[in-house]
Amino acid sequence: MPSLQGLPAIRRASPGAIQHFVASRSQLRIIGALFFSTQPPRVSRAITDNLSARGTASSPLHGGIAMVRALLSAVFMLSLSPQMLAQAPNLFVNATAHAVGTQPCDVLLQDMDGASGSDIVTADGGADTLTILANSGTGTFGGAPQTFALMMGDQPAALAGGTFVGVGDGDIAVACPGSNVVRLVDNMSGVLALSGSLALPGTQPVALAAGSLNGTGSDDLVIALEGDLLGNGGGVAVSLDGLPPVLLPAPSGGFGSVKDVALGDLDGDGDLDIVATRAGSGFNPLTTDQILLYENTGAASGVFTLAGTLSVTGLPRGVCVADVDGNGFADIAVAVQAFPGTGSLVILAHDGALGMTPAQFTAQSHGGGGSQPSAVACGDIFNVSLPSFFGRSDVVTTNLGSNDVSGYLGHDGMTAFQRVDSASAGANPVAIALDDVDGDGTLEIVAANLGDNTVTVFDPAPRSSALVFGVGCMGTAGIPQISAPNLAIHGTTAEVRLTQGRPSSAVVLGVSSGVSVQTLGMGPCVTYLASPVLTFTLASNPMGQASLFFDVPAFPAFSGTVLYFQYAVFDNLGAFNGILAFSPALRLTIGSTSVL
């Protein structure tokens, strides 16, 4: 084993070097062709000794290590202490209202000009228009609105974005119950034009969902048909590649009044399935079987079979599909209204096995939000997910009974959300959309307010989170573990910690701005850090632990910054050639407060 003389078990970073590193990190020299050298860390030690926090930064590398320590972490916990929960402010902060057309019935976030991020588009049911609010490039929408006229009497009610006309993206499909058609709006570099209409096999289109259902590259459409008060003309229709929509198989007793549709891979086979909510007729509301499940038969066919129905207590309205509980399979979130003046968010949680039979979903009813929830949207608001390793979505609803919006944050993976926030919107909020419109890594929340002809934009600030991901490999004391007991919140002291390392041993920490999965030799050890990688050394104490403490700057310039970390421990029983044992990896994000 290499000599441990001079290798500290605990170091503290100098915050003065942080800004220097941000300016110079593109010039950093890299140690090692792989994540960690298999040689004793002689070179690494020499460099890190030079970089220890002994005053101000004297080189890009000195600034680099200080920044590394200052960005080191915030472990994302599924069970948070009351102190952590108390740190986070209400989700719905920095609210701004913008005027749009008369009676906005739906809102779409989509880049319409290819220049400055997602813009806001509303369907103005009382004016037969679309209103476009252009993004300034920083997530503000202060310019003059653009109005696009549809046909008189269209009464646009719902929007979907995608590639529907020709090539490119940014087209819009508009459900128009006043004329019983879906209008297709061609977007040519920000110049809009009506390009055609889809005649429907039913009446009153009230909701749309878009995605590639048959693998041809263009976006297909799923249309919710509400029908009349007697339940006639309702249904779920699919238009593939711009062809006339076709009704999907009806459940027993007919469709009734379909309220919303959503797409997602519910059976785990890689293609998009369909969920629809229905409410019977105006004179005969349904009390069971209100959720319809349509399974894509696979092989990118775009052919759907009715996989079954699910029941909720109340009247279902909006629906979205996402992995809410973090088990790797898509769940169904439904806004459910009840009388008098109540309601709830219902999560139909998938059991995590392949398939989408009704028996695989368990209903969870969640209160704490506003009354009479209407629309619902799913999204990872604070970017805590990491594709291929972990995914978890938050859920946001608009609430007609209380004129507000509610955010259901951080499902614990079992039966509960860890936090529910609400805040006032405009009058009669009927639609909601999520997207990162300002590029800071968090999702903005936009509600369309039917009663006062506005949209409300909520802009949450980036928050601190961390996620342990991947697998480690064995050493003397088991698999080394990486954690960060204190979150990397501006103006606080954070810590990144190694446990279960070989006692009194050299330890190497690698830091990167990206992920690249590489198996070393024949396995089982895996590294997760993409090149370039900084490395520096510590030593574990007699209990196999090592820590770095670092002060996180109070200023928000680094909010949303994400880095990735992994430990290697020199260990003569290490799974990698009797030399090294590896921890899992850690993804770290700096923010103004904790996620929850």
Query: 100-156 pLDDT, tens per residue?
Result: 999 999 999 999 988 889 999 999 999 999 999 999 988 999 889 999 999 999 999
The pLDDT of 566-587, averaged and rounded, is: 95
CATH class of 482-590: mainly beta
Q: What number does CATH give the domain 92-460?
A: 2.130.10.130
The model's confidence at residue 7, banded by pLDDT at 50, 70 and 90, is: low
Chain-centre distance for alpha carbon 317 = 22
The greatest distance separating any two alpha carbons of the chain, rounded to the nearest whole angstrom, comes to 84
pLDDT at 88: 65
Higher pLDDT, 581 or 302: 581
The CA–CA distances, whole Å, from 372 to 73, 285, 321 equal 39, 16, 20
Matching CATH topology for 92-460 and 482-590? no
Q: How far apart are the first and last CA of the chain?
A: 43
| Residues contacting residue 316 through CB under 8 Å, at least 6 positions apart | 259, 260, 277, 278, 279, 290, 291, 334, 335, 336, 337, 346
Stretch among 44-48, 125-129, 292-296, 450-454 having the lowest mean pLDDT: 44-48
Give the sheet arrangement for strand 181-188, strand by strand.
Answer: 158-162, 171-176, 181-188, 191-199
pLDDT at 593: 86
The count of other CB atoms within 10 Å of the CB of residue 421 is 19
**Does the pLDDT value for residue 31 go beyond 90?**
no
- What are the beta bridge partners of residue 321? 332
3-class state of residue 139 by DSSP: coil
DSSP secondary structure, 337-376, as one string? EETTTEEEEEEEEE-SSS---GGGEEEEEE-SS-SSEEEE
Higher pLDDT, 42 or 575: 575
The model's confidence at residue 283, banded by pLDDT at 50, 70 and 90, is: low
Contact predicate 294/223, CB 8 Å: no
- Give the pair of three-digit tokens for residue 94: 């920095």
pLDDT at 558: 82
**What span, in angstroms and rounded, lies between the C-alpha atoms of 128 and 178?**
9
The pLDDT of 276-292, averaged and rounded, is: 84
Contact predicate 356/349, CB 8 Å: no
Question: 162: number of CA atoms within 13 Å, CB side?
Answer: 20
Q: What are phi and psi of 11, to 5 degrees?
A: -130, 155
**What span, in angstroms and rounded, lies between the C-alpha atoms of 224 and 236?**
5
Q: Domain coordinates of the chain in residue numbers?
A: 92-460, 482-590
H or E element: which one contains 43? helix 42-51
Which 8-state DSSP code applies to residue 76? -
**What span, in angstroms and rounded, lies between the C-alpha atoms of 173 and 264?**
19
Measure the CA angle with vertex 446, ends 441 and 449; round to 5°.
Answer: 175
The pLDDT of 285-311, averaged and rounded, is: 89
- What are the beta bridge partners of residue 37? none
Stretch among 75-84, 281-290, 472-481, 575-584 having the lowest mean pLDDT: 75-84
The pLDDT of 29-56, averaged and rounded, is: 29
Contact predicate 66/14, CB 8 Å: yes
**What span, in angstroms and rounded, lies between the C-alpha atoms of 510 and 532?**
10
**What span, in angstroms and rounded, lies between the C-alpha atoms of 207 and 287?**
21
Which 8-state DSSP code applies to residue 14? -
pLDDT at 489: 87
pLDDT at 10: 59
pLDDT at 80: 31
The model's confidence at residue 8, banded by pLDDT at 50, 70 and 90, is: low
Measure the CA angle with vertex 214, ends 213 and 216; round to 5°.
Answer: 115
Q: What are phi and psi of 25, to 5 degrees?
A: -65, -20
pLDDT at 300: 65
**pLDDT per position as a tens digit, 155-201:** 999 999 999 987 666 899 999 999 999 999 999 888 999 999 999 99
Q: Which of 419, 416, 422, 412 is nearest to 445 (CA)?
A: 422
Contact predicate 319/277, CB 8 Å: yes
**Does the pLDDT value for residue 554 go beyond 80?**
yes
- Give the pair of three-digit tokens for residue 72: 């080191």
Higher pLDDT, 340 or 275: 275
- Give the pair of three-digit tokens for residue 540: 């574990």
Task: Please tell me the pTM assigned to this model.
Answer: 0.85
pLDDT at 406: 97
User: Which residue carries 């020199």 as its tokens?
Assistant: 570
**What span, in angstroms and rounded, lies between the C-alpha atoms of 197 and 184?**
6
pLDDT at 116: 81
Q: Are strands 534-539 and 506-512 parallel, antiparallel or unpaired?
A: antiparallel
3-class state of residue 498 by DSSP: strand
3-class state of residue 533 by DSSP: coil
Q: Are strands 546-551 and 10-12 parallel, antiparallel or unpaired?
A: parallel
pLDDT at 77: 27
The pLDDT of 519-532, averaged and rounded, is: 92
Stretch among 153-162, 179-188, 370-379, 486-495 having the lowest mean pLDDT: 486-495
Average pLDDT, the chain: 84
pLDDT at 462: 87
Return the percent helix, strand and coil in the chain, to nearest 5. 10, 45, 50
The pLDDT of 550-575, averaged and rounded, is: 88
The pLDDT of 333-349, averaged and rounded, is: 92
pLDDT at 320: 98
User: What percentage of the chain reaches a pLDDT higher than 70?
Assistant: 84
pLDDT at 215: 85
**Does the pLDDT value for residue 38 go beyond 60?**
no
The pLDDT of 21-41, averaged and rounded, is: 31
| Residues contacting residue 509 through CB under 8 Å, at least 6 positions apart | 496, 535, 536, 537, 538, 548, 565, 566, 567
Q: What are phi and psi of 103, to 5 degrees?
A: 55, 70
**What span, in angstroms and rounded, lies between the C-alpha atoms of 424 and 452?**
13
**Does the pLDDT value for residue 227 go beyond 80?**
yes
The model's confidence at residue 550, banded by pLDDT at 50, 70 and 90, is: confident
Q: Which of 335, 458, 312 is nearest to 395 (CA)?
A: 335
**Does the pLDDT value for residue 78 go beyond 90?**
no
**pLDDT per position as a tens digit, 459-474:** 998 888 889 999 999 9
User: Which residue carries 């369309």 as its tokens?
Assistant: 448
The model's confidence at residue 18, banded by pLDDT at 50, 70 and 90, is: very low
